[in-house]
Amino acid sequence: MKSTISVVVTAYNRRDFLLSALKSVNNQSFKDYEIIVVKNFHDQAIDNFIKKARI
């Protein structure tokens, strides 16, 4: 089933801002969404964080 909306979040070496953005989306009353995190660099720490952040 396809989500109604897509939320696109950019990430550049700031896990604290990324976590805040993910929590903000998760706290919305509307729940039919997908989150797309866009990175323009390779950072294993951010990759691991995204995998674990499955809020």
Instruction: Provide the pLDDT for residue 48.
Output: 84
Phi then psi for residue 25, to 5 deg, are: -65, -45
What six digits make up the tokens of 25? 């989306």
Q: What is the pLDDT of residues 1-46, one digit of tens each?
A: 677 899 999 888 787 888 899 889 989 999 899 999 888 777 788 8
55 pLDDT band, cuts 50/70/90, is low
Instruction: Provide the pLDDT for residue 5.
Output: 92
Distance CA 38, CA 21 (A): 13
b/e for 25-48, b at 16 or more Cβ within 10 A? beeeeeeeeebebeeeeeeeebee
Instruction: Provide the pLDDT for residue 1.
Output: 66
Instruction: Provide the pLDDT for residue 32.
Output: 93
